[in-house]
């Protein structure tokens, strides 16, 4: 999980799903991976500025493994990027800066939401009904050359702002530099904001993000778990960092694989002397998350009665529910009552299942990985995939398959920091899959191309002995009803993310060039 949620890997996973479902995944800011996409970033920004001199977007640069705001800075021009050459090159992402955040008391703030992944297969996600909000300590102004370095104005990290003279420690939930999410939502509700809608958008963001990272997680997971045996009962609490835009659209900033569960804060008790003192706001949020996680995960525990719950000090707080949702049943079947963590998946699986396309590609990938512990596909396994799924023919011969394999793996091996293991990783396989889908079903949009190719492969596999059990995720073609289309509202639409370009590039392989004379004759599969 730690690996998967590093900034580069998260950005890659989000980008893949953005390619398939651009409107569903518009909550993740456009990001470029450094150093490999520096040229692309730089060219795009130059073009945007040339087209419209009044456009002057800001970007935020984040080191790959960074946390707590370390090494983060804002830039307005690609030449301000602190890139180093060769092996010194800093790995990270440069991301569109959301310049119109929602402000409270003139301050920028972000939301920390705790999410429990109870199990990967089947996927079970719980969201804590209560979260934290972390406030900046200097009034917000839209970025300008003058204020770019004002971290207390632009970065909401507690670890940074606590060192500003303006940080307010407060025992109350609704004042100070760290507040509960519910206190902020109630305040917004008092101003007429439809907080149910905000909350349901946040839930959708969380589910979609988990759906984006699950395929790669499943590859890691199968490498650790012996085939045919039940996996260990493991779980993970994640910290989602979410920013609300002025128009109330939630934006995902990052996902923390190891969020702090501290319930104390550092306080300067006399000049220069710091002490850890209890933090009621942290306690209010985090104790519930840990308590409910243990209760949900412990298979030995019996369902406690309501009186037991009360005796244990469990108060039933006012619920923030999803739009149109009824009060949750106090006891879900076979599961302990959850007072703070609320199940959102599979509860809302109908709305979101059709976004799980990459996971179906991952299922194919895992099936052909073969040997336990492997995370990369070798050339022979790639060929076997083509043969088994009957994907090669006179128009795409096995020789073309080999060239495709070499071209894609070579390109990806340069981009992956840990390339000790040779072969084709999931991301590279997904790219090959998109490429093939595009060739076969030219007239369709990418999502439909991919669905069509998946159906073809899955049908071939199902027709084989023992095939039916292999298919893990069924998916309707319909788009989720409840998911509303919103746009990020970025100043300039020309500032497109590198994703389509990467795909364009992938469809423009040297391979493509080499095979051109034969391939251009006809596309018989269409």
What is the total residue count of the chain?
A: 526
Is residue 207 within 8 Å of 345, Cβ to Cβ?
A: yes
Which region, judged by CB under 6 A, interacts with ligand ADP, from 65-73, 183-191, 207-215, 476-484? 65-73
Judged by CB under 6 A, the stretch of 75-83, 152-160, 232-240, 334-342 that binds ligand ADP is 152-160
Residue 157 touches ligand ADP, criterion: CB under 6 A: yes
Neighbours of 499 (CB within 10 A): 20
Q: Is 467 an interacting residue with respect to ligand ADP (CB under 6 A)? A: no
CB of 442 to ligand ADP, least distance (A): 35
Stretch that binds ligand ADP, among 75-83, 154-162, 360-368, 437-445 (CB under 6 A): 154-162
Sign of torsion, CA 378 380 384 387? positive
Closest CB to ligand ADP among residues 252, 362 = 252
Find the binder of ligand ADP among 3, 52, 70, 142 (CB under 6 A).
70
Kindly state the number of chain residues that form the binding site for ligand ADP, as judged by CB under 6 A. 20
**CB of 502: closest distance to ligand ADP in angstroms?**
20
Nearer to ligand ADP by C-beta: 259 or 425? 259
Of 68 and 308, which has the nearer Cβ to ligand ADP? 68
98 near ligand ADP, rule: CB under 6 A:
yes
515 binds ligand ADP (CB under 6 A): no
Closest C-alpha among 397, 431, 383 to residue 411: 431
**Measured CA distances, 347 to 127, 233, 354, 428 (Å):** 12, 21, 14, 32
3-state helix, strand, coil in the chain (%, to 5): 40, 15, 45
**What is d(CA 93, CA 95) in angstroms, rounded to the nearest whole number?**
6
CA distance 231 to 228: 9
> Taking CB under 6 A as the rule, which mask of x and - marks residues 215-254 in contact with ligand ADP?
--------------------------x-x---------xx
Stretches 151-159, 311-319, 332-340, 457-465: which one binds ligand ADP (CB under 6 A)? 151-159
CA 514 centroid distance within chain = 36
Three-state SS string over 430-480 comes to HHHHHHHHHHHCCCCCHHHHHHHHHHHHHHHHHCCCCCHHHCCCCCCCCCC
**3-state DSSP of 136-148:** CCCCCCCCCCCCC
Residue closer to ligand ADP (CB basis): 155 or 185: 155
Q: Of 110 and 359, which has the nearer Cβ to ligand ADP?
A: 110
Q: Is 72 a residue that touches ligand ADP (CB under 6 A)?
A: yes
Question: Cα–Cα distance between 292 and 297 in angstroms, integer?
Answer: 8
Other CB atoms within 10 Å distance of the CB of residue 487: 11
Q: Provide the minimum distance between the beta carbon of 9 and ligand ADP in the complex, in angstroms, as a whole number.
A: 14
Residues 164-223 that bind ligand ADP (CB under 6 A): none
Q: How far is CA 44 from the centre of its chain?
A: 24
Q: Residue 266: in which H helix or E strand, if any?
A: strand 264-270
Please tell me whether residue 142 binds ligand ADP under the rule CB under 6 A.
no
Give the residue with the Cβ less far from ligand ADP, 198 or 354. 198
C-alpha 131/C-alpha 518 separation (Å) is: 58
Q: Is the Cβ of residue 155 or residue 296 nearer to ligand ADP in the bound state?
A: 155
Q: Which stretch binds ligand ADP (CB under 6 A): 68-76, 328-336, 370-378, 492-500?
A: 68-76
* CA-based nearest residue to 56, from 144, 158, 146: 144
Backbone torsion region of residue 219, taken as left when φ is above 0, otherwise alpha when ψ lies between -120 and 50, otherwise beta:
alpha
72 or 285: CB nearest ligand ADP? 72
65 near ligand ADP, rule: CB under 6 A? no
**Rounded to a whole number, what is the largest CA-CA distance in the chain?**
80
- CB hemisphere CA count around 358 (13 angstroms): 29
Is 67 a binding residue for ligand ADP by CB under 6 A? The answer is yes
Choice between 216 and 254, CB closer to ligand ADP: 254
Question: Least separation, in Å, of the C-beta of 239 and ligand ADP?
Answer: 10
When asked if residue 156 is in the footprint of ligand ADP (CB under 6 A), the reply is yes
- Choose one: 49-57, 75-83, 91-99, 449-457; the region binding ligand ADP (CB under 6 A): 91-99
Q: Which residues pair with 245 in a beta bridge?
A: 101
What is the contact surface with ligand ADP in residues (CB under 6 A)? 29, 60, 62, 66-70, 72, 95, 97-98, 110, 155-157, 241, 243, 253-254
């Amino acid at each position: 999980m730690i690996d998967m949620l590093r900034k580069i890997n998260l950005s890659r996973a989000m980008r893949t799903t953005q390619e398939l479902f651009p409107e569903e995944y518009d909550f993740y800011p456009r990001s470029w991976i450094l150093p490999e996409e520096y040229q692309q970033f730089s060219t795009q920004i130059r073009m945007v500025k040339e087209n419209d001199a009044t456009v002057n977007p800001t970007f935020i640069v984040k080191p790959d493994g960074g946390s707590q705001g370390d090494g983060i800075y804002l830039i307005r021009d690609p030449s301000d990027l602190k890139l180093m050459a060769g092996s010194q090159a800093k790995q990270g992402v440069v991301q569109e800066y959301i310049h119109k955040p929602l402000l409270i008391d003139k301050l920028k703030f972000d939301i920390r939401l705790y999410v429990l992944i109870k199990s990967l297969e089947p996927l079970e996600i719980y969201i804590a009904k209560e979260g934290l909000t972390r406030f900046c300590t200097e009034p917000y102004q839209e970025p300008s050359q003058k204020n770019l370095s004002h971290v207390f104005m632009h970065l909401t990290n507690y670890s940074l702002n606590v060192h500003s003279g303006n940080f307010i420690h407060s025992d109350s939930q609704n004042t100070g530099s760290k507040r509960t999410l519910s206190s902020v939502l109630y305040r917004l509700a008092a101003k007429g904001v439809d907080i149910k809608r905000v909350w349901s958008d946040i839930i959708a963001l969380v589910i979609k993000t988990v759906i984006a990272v699950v395929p790669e997680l499943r590859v890691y997971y199968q490498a650790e778990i012996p085939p045919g045996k039940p996996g260990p009962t493991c779980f993970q609490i994640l910290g989602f960092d979410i920013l609300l835009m002025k128009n109330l659209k939630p934006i995902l900033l990052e996902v923390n694989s190891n969020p702090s569960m501290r319930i104390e804060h550092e306080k300067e008790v006399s000049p220069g002397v710091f002490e850890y003192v209890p933090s009621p706001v942290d306690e209010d949020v985090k104790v519930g998350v840990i308590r409910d996680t243990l209760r949900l995960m412990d298979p030995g525990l019996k369902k406690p009665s309501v009186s037991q719950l009360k005796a244990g000090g469990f108060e039933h707080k006012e619920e923030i529910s999803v739009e149109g949702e009824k009060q949750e049943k106090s006891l879900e079947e076979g599961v302990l009552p959850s007072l703070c963590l609320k199940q959102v998946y599979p509860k809302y699986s109908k709305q979101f299942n059709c976004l799980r396309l990459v996971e179906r590609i991952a299922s194919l990938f895992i099936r052909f990985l073969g040997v336990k512990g492997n995370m990369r596909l070798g050339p022979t396994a790639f060929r076997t995939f083509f043969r088994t799924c009957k994907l090669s023919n006179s128009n795409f011969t096995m020789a073309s398959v080999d060239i495709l394999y070499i071209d894609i793996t070579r390109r990806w091996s340069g981009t992956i920091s840990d390339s000790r293991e040779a072969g084709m990783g999931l991301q590279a396989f997904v790219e090959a899959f998109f490429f093939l889908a595009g060739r076969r079903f030219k007239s369709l949009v990418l999502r439909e191309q991919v669905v069509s190719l998946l159906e073809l492969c899955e049908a071939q596999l199902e027709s084989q002995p023992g095939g039916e059990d292999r298919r893990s995720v069924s998916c309707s073609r319909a788009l989720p009803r409840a998911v509303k289309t919103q746009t990020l509202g970025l100043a300039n639409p020309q500032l497109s993310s590198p994703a389509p370009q990467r795909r364009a590039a992938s469809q423009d392989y040297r391979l493509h060039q080499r095979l051109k004379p034969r391939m251009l004759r006809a596309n018989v599969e269409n």
